[in-house]
Structure 1
Amino acid sequence: MKTARPGSTVTIEFVIRLDDGSVVGEVGKKNTLKFTLGEGKLLKGLEENIIGMEKGESKNIVLSPQEGYGEYNKELVLRLERDKIPDDVELKVGRTIQYQNRDGERVNFVVNALDENTVTLDGNHPLAGLDLTYEVELVKFH
């Protein structure tokens, strides 16, 4: 039987679960993703575990924060005066906005809290600091 190897273009269906069993994203809906193994477009630990899988095979792949989206970094949480945010940016808790850092890079932040004078922004990936279980099925590859 042929197995997926570096250079194989694969299509996977997957669901991501947290430690408490909750699904990241839409409940019960599998996501489909097509990519080439070895190009580094996915998390390394995920790619490494897909190598060697056969078409139709399913596998649970558990990634630690270090293998996933990193540890949660409190230094990426910023509290700013509201007047530092342009008036045309709609501020709403849970909304993702772009903010330009000191180096001129545009970075995505999630609005965590608002009051009349301040905005709290979080630049961590939403899955940072979490153990993730990927339920993966290799649908096809070539």
Structure 2
Amino acid sequence: MKTAQRGNLVKIHYNIKLDNGETAGTTRGGQPLSFTIGKGKVMKKLEQGIIGMQLNESRTIKIEPEHGFGQRNESLVLKVKKEEIQTQMEIAPGRTIQYKSETGESVNFIIRDFDEHTVTIDGNHPFAGENLTFEVVLVAIL
């Protein structure tokens, strides 16, 4: 029986779980994720975990922060003046905004907190520092 190998275009359905049991993402009920193994479009450890799988096989793949979204970097948590936030939407915790860095580059930040004068924004990926457990089903090898 054919197995997934480097260079194959594959389609997978997945659930991503955090250590606390929370589901962090899923393709169930939607379109499967499609990618070519070895092209670097998904996490390398996820690609490696799919190699050798057969069609309709299920597998659990654990990915530590250093192989996923990295460790949290507290230097990416900034407290800025409210007037520096250029947005038309309401400032609220959990919202994603674009903020221009000192170099002029636009970077996505998550609003963590705010008061009358300042906004605390976080440039870490929401899953930085998290272990990710992918529950994967291989649905196509093309």
Please report the TM-score for the alignment, with normalisation by the length of structure 2.
Answer: 0.92
User: What amino acid is aligned across from residue 60 of structure 1 in structure 2?
Assistant: T
Residues 13-45 of structure 1: CA deviation (Å, up to 9, x unaligned): 00001112221147x946620111111010111
Deviations 1:46-77 (A, max 9, x none): 11111111111110000111011000110000
Aligned-pair RMSD on alpha carbons? 1.7
Counterpart residue number, 2:47: 47
Equivalent residues of 1:3, 1:51 under 8 A apart: yes
Could you tell me which runs of 5 or more consecutive residues in structure 2 were left unpaired when the two chains were aligned.
none
Please identify runs of 4+ aligned residues in structure 1 that moved more than 6 A.
Answer: none
Is 1:134 aligned to residue 139 of structure 2?
no
Q: Look up the match of 2:83.
A: 83
Contact 1:13 1:30 in 2 (8 A): no
Unaligned runs of 5+ in 1: none
What do the CA deviations read for 1:109-139 (whole angstroms, capped 9, x no partner)?
0000011000000000000001110000000
Q: Does 1:106 align with 2:110?
A: no
Q: CA deviation at 1:92?
A: 1.5
TM-score (norm 1): 0.92
**Structure-1 separation of matches of 2:4 and 2:124:** 32
Q: What is the CA distance between 1:104 and its match in structure 2? A: 2.2
Q: After the TM superposition, which residues 3-22 of structure 1 pair with which residues of structure 2 at under 5 Å, given as runs?
A: 3-22=3-22
- Which residue number in structure 1 is paired with residue 57 of structure 2? 57
3-state SS, counterpart of residue 113 of structure 1: strand
Distance 1:62 1:25 in 2: 14
Cα deviation for residue 86 of structure 1 reads: 2.4
1:123 paired to 2:123: yes
Identity %: 47
